[in-house]
């Protein structure tokens, strides 16, 4: 890969990345693990889902807060900052969390209103996640346009299902618009070795049949007017789809364990995306926690890139070993992760099983414990209009869900 | 996990008082009735407590209104808000960060000057601010929209879920039964008296029924044969991602017909009214509403451009022609009381609960709520309040 080198600024220093990488991957490659801090206890947070679906890597880019570093492509020349500068006081709220548990102010302060007012001022300062946009950055966004458009078939998601559906609908003679929030079409194909070629073929088939592909376009919501609101870089589009195909794919599930939010702990598809799409190794020594075949496949892929990988499989030995792909990857079956260790990023994990607890040193953890559908747009319409469901909701007419059996 | 304050047992066949609606109005009233020593009080809620407008409002608290009726009633409520956490034993997070009624034109400023002059006589603490003072108080505001305003230093905001929760808990501790997922299907009357209510979980006999059903109040009154001259409207709100403090006071803008505040967590919460509030019973957020709010709040606070939204939601209100509540008995139907027609119901709940409880318990309607009778609506004798940031469009 003859990639172009791109420089950007991160908190006073210059960081180099490669064209096509995300800001998050470029920072990871430069050794930056902590990108944000948690809301109240200011725990360190970093790349976690690597899919634009969690707030842990939100950074400030060119004066705008809340930008997900993991999926924002590097342009070169941007100014990237943590929206909350780290401070020596950061560890304090977490250390004293035993005395100020979640919701403490509801129960511990009602008899002392004056104390609440003091506390409120302090909490307001601690709790803020970001800062207002810089005035110039905000002003530059004010001329965003608004457009209304009718399309016969709208496909949300340009992964393999969406592109295939678009090609089929276009060949059948419909006008088709495919929306993709990523700057590249292909979805998870792009995170699989050789997948980019397959994605290219699918794009050619869809656009060759007449489908229009819109990149960097996020379907924000499906409103009761029947309109699909789409945010693009140049403004808002209200689409009125004749038929709507939801091919939005899935999210990976997380796994709760002690200090499971330490930077370095990430979801396996995210780790795979970093490696395959961005050419950045998620770690030098990775433990994959799984109970699914795809966890073993991800482990094999990471191992193939020269990373020291081991698998902790929560299932019994026979099931775990049946799914193992790469003989060079050790599999610890019938065990699971109990805790992550490390102050600012993960340095080791505790694994528990029938024979007790052991400690595995590592600098990254990949969680592969299943997926759930990315079905918010559908749920918005199914469950809208009432807080009390007396009958099971019916799908609105003209809606298809890709991948559904 | 059991919800605090929610009854786990079945419905009894008889209660002394049945309150229809487990929002903040119904729960505050139930608490106040029990505090006055009444027993056998039941709150029937079609969903879960606070699932309607009580959990969907802008959570603002003020009494700086233009009319004597509104200003004195809501000032009684504001005084209750200050001590509510202590009284209920649960922090409702009332934060007297100040409340600014923002004027953006000379006409609006003149209107503010007119009613602010009355406030001192009514015992309200407010001040009329000029453009420079407002800019100092809220520097993030677009200076083009700042002509001045009325500032109430002890107004502010509370947390709506905490307030609902606190009332439910306090009421339950005094023996009130709150029954969720129990819909009222009919109200039995005979000879101008209330006899009982039918529900999806059986019949109840009771001599007193209170309609505190929020957006569904007209339907409930209709079951008792009481025509309620109200229309149902949808209000929408948004909340942004969290940001470092940039707006201290709560704010209502007369010019944009909007209201907002920055929470302790740093989110901006607010809503706007479009000039035409079409009758609607839907809880869906609309794209039209979302665009209206986004455009107006960015106009009000230009640096909000580029800030992401966390959520967008809607709630319904069942409102009167003068946008004031309907509080008190219904002359032709003994035992039937109204606690509805609310638009500013969250901030009014503490006073409404205690004053209506007094009316029900003593049989005498307290002076502060007397103007909000249903008779005023029947006579077309509307209350004239000119500092509201909701509108019926052509009203």
Contacts of A120 in chain B (CB under 8 A): 93, 95, 264
Domains in chain B, number: 2
A135 touches B: beta carbon within 8 Å = yes
Left, alpha or beta for B6 (phi > 0: left; psi -120 to 50: alpha)?
beta
Q: B243, A120: Cβ pair inside 8 Å? A: no
Going B276 to B277 to B281 to B285, the CA torsion angle's sign is positive
Tell me: do B241 and B142 sit in the same domain: yes
**Mean pLDDT for chain B overall:** 94
Distance to chain A for B340, nearest Cα, Å: 20
| Final residue in a domain of this structure, among A127, A143, A159 | A143
The alpha carbon dihedral of A118, A119, A125, A130 has a sign of: negative
Mark whether A257 and A242 lie in a shared domain.
no
Identify the domain boundary among B299, B319, B339.
B319
pLDDT value, residue A384: 61
Residue B335 is assigned to a structural domain of this protein: yes
Task: Go through B305-328 and write b for each residue having 16 or more CB atoms within 10 A of its CB, e for each that does not.
Answer: bbbebeebbbbbbbbbbbbbbbbb
Asked if A128 and B86 come within 8 Å (Cβ–Cβ), the reply is no
Is the same domain home to B44 and B142?
A: no
B27 with B119, same domain: the answer is no
Residue A101 contacts B where some CB pair is shorter than 8 Å: no
Contact A393/B at CB under 8 A: no
Same domain, B239 and B374: no
Q: Answer yes or no: do B113 and B200 share one domain.
A: no
pLDDT for the residue B395: 38
DSSP string, B100-156: EEEE-SHHHHHHHHHHHHHHHHHT---EEEEHHHHHHH-TTS-GGG-SEEEEETT-E
Residue of A nearest to B96 (CA): A117
User: Quick one: pLDDT at residue B6?
Assistant: 83
Cross-chain CB nearest to B89 (options A110, A131, A386):
A110
- Residue contact A129–B266, C-beta within 8 A: yes
Q: In whole angstroms, what is the distance from residue A181 CA to residue A201 CA? A: 19
Q: Tell me how crowded residue A356 is: count the other CB atoms within 10 A of its CB.
A: 8
Please tell me whether residues A260 and A244 are part of one structural domain: no
Q: Least CB-CB distance to B285: which of A105, A111, A223?
A: A223
The answer to whether residue A115 neighbours chain B at the CB level (below 8 Å) is no
Tell me which chain A residues have a C-beta less than 8 angstroms from the C-beta of B54: none
Q: What is the CATH number of the domain that holds B196?
A: 3.50.50.60
Report how many Cβ contacts below 8 Å link chain A to chain B: 138
* Partner-chain contact B286 A224, CB within 8 Å: yes
Three-state secondary structure readout of chain A? CCCCEEEEEECCEEEEEECCCEHHHHHHHCCCCCCEECCCCCCEECCCCCCCCCCCCEEEECCEEEEECCCCECCCCCEEECCCCCCCCCHHHHHCCCCCCCCHHHHCCCCCHHHHHHHHHHHHHHHCCECCCCHHHHHCCCCCEEEEEEEEEEEECCCHHHHHHHHHHHHCCCCEEEEECCCCCCHHHHHCCCHHHHHHHHHHHHHHCCCEEEECCEEEEECCCCCEEEEECCEEEEEEEEEEEECCCEEECCCCCECCCCCCEEEHHHHHHHHHHHCCCCCCEEEEEECCHHHHHHHHHHHHCCCEEEEEECCCHHHHHHHCCCCCCCEEECCEEEEEECCCCCCEEEEEECCEEEEEECCEEEEECCEEECCHHHHHHHCCCCCCCCCCCCCCCCEEECCCC
Q: B82 or A116, which is more confident?
A: B82
Mutate to test the interface with A, among B61, B78, B94, B244 (most CBs of A within 10 A): B244
Same domain? For B125 and B102 the reply is yes
- Overall number of domains in chain A: 3
Which positions ≥6 away from B53 have C-beta within 8 Å?
B23, B214, B215, B235, B315, B316, B317, B342, B345, B346
DSSP string, B256-280: TTEEEEE-TTS-EEEEE--SS--B-
One domain for residues A166 and A59: no
Calculate ∠ Cα B221-B224-B229, nearest 5°.
35
Q: What is the pLDDT of residue B138?
A: 97
Domain that includes residue B326, residue range: 17-55+161-229+322-379
Cα gap A116→B89, rounded to integer Å: 13
In a domain, B11, yes or no: no
- Of B319, B337, B370, the residue that ends a domain is B319
Residue B390 lies in a domain: no
Cα–Cα distance measured from residue A183 to residue A19, given in angstroms and rounded to the nearest whole number: 12
pLDDT for A92 equals 78
Q: Residues B167, B221: one domain?
A: yes
What pLDDT score was predicted for residue B281?
Answer: 67
Statement to judge: residues A243 and A384 lie in one domain: yes
Same domain, A362 and A396: no
Instruction: Decide if A132 and B304 are in contact by the 8 Å CB cutoff.
Output: yes
Q: Looking at the structure, tell me whether residues A5 and A39 fall in a common domain.
A: yes
Boundary of a domain, candidates A81, A110, A143:
A143
Partner residues linked to B235 by β-bridges: B315
Yes or no, beta carbons of A39 and B265 under 8 Å apart: yes
**Same domain membership, residue A234 and residue A200:** yes
**In chain A, whose CA is at the least distance from the CA of B45?**
A388
Which residue stretches of chain A have pLDDT < 50? 404-405
What was the pLDDT predicted at B2?
58
Statement to judge: residues A192 and A337 lie in one domain: no
* Cβ pair A107:B93 closer than 8 A: no
Q: Do A111 and B304 touch (CB under 8 A)?
A: no
Residues B262 and B305 in one domain: yes
Q: What is the mean pLDDT of residues B115-125?
A: 94
Helices B345-362/B68-88 angle, 10° precision: 90
Q: Are residues A219 and A75 part of one domain?
A: no
A256/A174 same-domain check? no
- Side-chain-side CA neighbours of A12 within 13 Å: the count stands at 1
**Residue of higher predicted confidence among A106 and B348:** B348
Please tell me if residue B51 touches chain A, with a CB cutoff of 8 Å: yes
* Enclosing domain of residue A201: 145-248+378-401
The reported pLDDT for the residue numbered A244 is 93
More confident residue, B354 or A106: B354
Check pLDDT > 60 for residue B394. Answer: no
Distance, CA of B139 to chain centre: 29
Question: What pLDDT, on a 0 to 100 scale, did the predictor assign at position B39?
Answer: 92
Query: Contact at 8 Å (CB) between B347 and B77?
Result: yes
pLDDT of residue A42: 86
**B132 within some domain:** yes
* B253 and B182 within one domain: no
B302 and A135 within 8 Å at the Cβ level: the answer is yes
Q: Which positions in chain B touch A39 (Cβ < 8 Å)? A: 242, 265
Is A109 in contact with B243 (Cβ distance < 8 A)?
Answer: no
B25-54 pLDDT, tens digit each: 999 999 999 999 999 999 999 999 999 999
Supply A266's token pair: 């990430």
Put simply, the chain B residues between 267 and 306 with a CB less than 8 A from any chain A CB are 282-288, 290-291, 298, 302-306
For residue range B193-252, list pLDDT tens digits in order: 999 999 999 999 999 999 999 999 999 999 999 999 999 988 999 999 999 999 999 999
CATH of the domain at B128: 3.30.9.10
Task: Quote the pLDDT of residue A394.
Answer: 66
Q: Does A258 touch chain B if contact means CB atoms closer than 8 Å? A: no
A209 and A73 assigned to the same domain: no
**B239 and A CB contact within 8 Å:** no
Query: Across the interface, which of B47, B85, B264 has its CB nearest the CB of A113?
Result: B85
The CATH number given to whatever domain includes residue A22 is: 3.10.20.440
Q: pLDDT at residue B366 above 70?
A: yes
Partner B contacted by A137 (CB < 8 A): yes
What pLDDT is recorded for position A326?
Answer: 87
- Which of B268, B302, B319 is the last residue before a domain boundary? B319
Measured distance CA(B353)–CA(B339) in Å, rounded: 9
Q: Taking 70 as the threshold, does the pLDDT of residue B383 lie above it? A: yes
- ipTM given for this complex: 0.89
pLDDT at position A142? 84
Are B284 and B256 in the same domain? yes
A357 plus A386 within the same structural domain: no
B49: distance to nearest CA of chain A, Å?
11
Alpha-carbon distances of A358 from A181, A227, A330, B86, rounded to whole Å: 42, 54, 15, 50
If contacts are CB pairs under 8 Å, which of residues 363-392 in chain B contact chain A? none
């Amino acid at each position: 890969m003859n990639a172009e080198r791109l420089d950007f600024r991160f908190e006073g220093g210059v960081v180099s990345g490669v064209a096509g990488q995300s800001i998050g991957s470029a920072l990871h490659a430069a050794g930056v693990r902590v990108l944000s801090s948690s809301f109240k206890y200011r725990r360190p947070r970093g790349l976690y889902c690597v899919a634009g679906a969690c707030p842990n890597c939100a950074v400030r880019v060119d004066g705008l807060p809340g930008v997900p570093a993991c999926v924002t492509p590097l342009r070169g020349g941007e100014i990237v900052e943590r929206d909350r500068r780290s401070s020596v006081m950061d560890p304090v709220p977490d250390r004293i969390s035993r005395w100020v548990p979640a919701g403490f102010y509801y129960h511990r302060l009602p008899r002392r209103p004056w104390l609440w007012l003091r506390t409120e001022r302090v909490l307001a300062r601690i709790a803020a996640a970001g800062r207002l946009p810089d005035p110039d950055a905000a002003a530059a966004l004010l001329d965003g346009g608004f457009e209304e458009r009718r399309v016969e078939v709208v496909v949300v998601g340009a992964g393999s299902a969406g592109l295939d559906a678009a090609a089929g609908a276009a060949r059948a003679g419909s006008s088709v618009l495919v929306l993709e929030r990523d700057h590249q079409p292909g979805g998870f194909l792009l995170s699989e070795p050789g997948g980019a070629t397959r994605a290219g073929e699918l794009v050619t088939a869809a656009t060759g049949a007449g489908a229009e592909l819109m990149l960097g376009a996020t379907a924000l919501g499906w409103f009761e007017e029947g309109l699909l609101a789409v945010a693009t870089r140049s403004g808002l589009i209200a689409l009125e789809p004749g038929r709507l195909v939801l091919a939005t794919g899935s999210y990976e599930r997380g796994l709760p364990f002690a200090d499971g939010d330490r930077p370095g702990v990430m979801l396996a598809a995210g780790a795979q995306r970093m490696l395959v799409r961005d050419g950045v190794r998620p770690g030098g020594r990775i433990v994959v926690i799984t109970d699914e075949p795809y966890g073993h496949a991800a482990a094999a892929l990471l191992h193939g890139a020269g990373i020291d990988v081991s698998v902790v499989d929560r299932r019994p030995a026979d099931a775990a070993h049946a799914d193992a792909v790469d003989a060079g990857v050790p599999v610890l079956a019938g065990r699971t992760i109990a805790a992550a260790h490390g102050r600012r990023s993960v340095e080791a994990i505790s694994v528990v099983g029938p024979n007790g607890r052991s400690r595995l040193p590592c600098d990254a953890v990949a969680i592969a414990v299943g997926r759930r559908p990315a079905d918010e747009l559908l749920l918005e319409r199914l469950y809208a209009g009432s807080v009390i469901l007396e009958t099971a909701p019916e799908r609105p007419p003209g809606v298809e869900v890709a991948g559904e059996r | 996990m059991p919800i605090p304050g929610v009854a786990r047992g079945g419905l009894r066949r008889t209660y002394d008082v049945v309150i229809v609606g487990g929002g903040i109005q119904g729960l505050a009233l139930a608490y106040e009735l029990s505090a006055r020593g009444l027993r056998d009080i039941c709150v029937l809620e079609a969903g879960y407590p606070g699932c309607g407008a009580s959990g969907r409002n802008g959570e603002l608290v003020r009494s700086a209104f233009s009319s004597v009726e509104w200003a004195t009633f809501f000032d009684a409520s504001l005084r209750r808000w200050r001590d509510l956490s202590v009284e209920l034993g649960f922090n409702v997070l009332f934060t007297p960060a100040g409340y600014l009624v923002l004027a953006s034109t000379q006409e609006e400023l003149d209107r503010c000057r007119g009613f602010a002059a009355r406030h001192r006589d009514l015992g309200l603490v407010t001040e009329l601010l000029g453009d420079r003072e407002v800019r100092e108080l809220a520097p993030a505001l677009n200076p083009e929209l700042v002509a001045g305003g009325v500032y109430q230093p002890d107004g502010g905001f509370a947390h709506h879920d905490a307030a609902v929760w606190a009332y439910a808990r306090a009421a339950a501790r005094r023996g009130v039964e709150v029954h969720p997922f129990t819909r009222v299907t009919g109200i039995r009357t005979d000879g101008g008296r209330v006899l009982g209510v039918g529900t999806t979980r059986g019949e109840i006999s009771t001599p007193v029924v209170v309609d505190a059903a929020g957006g569904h109040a007209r339907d409930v009154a209709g079951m008792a044969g009481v025509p309620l001259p109200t229309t149902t409207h949808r209000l929408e709100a948004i909340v942004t991602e969290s940001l470092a403090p940039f707006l201290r006071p709560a704010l209502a803008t007369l010019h944009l017909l909007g209201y907002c505040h920055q929470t302790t967590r740093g989110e901006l919460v607010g809503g706007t009214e479009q000039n035409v509030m079409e009758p609607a019973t839907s809880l869906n957020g609309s794209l039209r509403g979302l665009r209206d709010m986004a455009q107006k709040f960015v106009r009000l606070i230009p640096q909000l451009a580029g800030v992401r939204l966390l959520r967008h939601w809607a709630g319904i209100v069942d409102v009167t022609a003068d946008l004031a509540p309907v509080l008190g008995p219904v002359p032709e139907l003994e035992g039937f009381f109204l606690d509805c027609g609310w638009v500013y119901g969250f901030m009014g709940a503490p006073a409404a609960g205690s004053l209506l409880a007094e009316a029900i318990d003593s049989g005498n309607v307290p002076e502060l709520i007397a103007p909000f009778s249903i008779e005023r609506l029947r006579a077309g004798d509307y209350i004239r309040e000119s500092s509201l940031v909701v509108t019926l469009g052509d009203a």
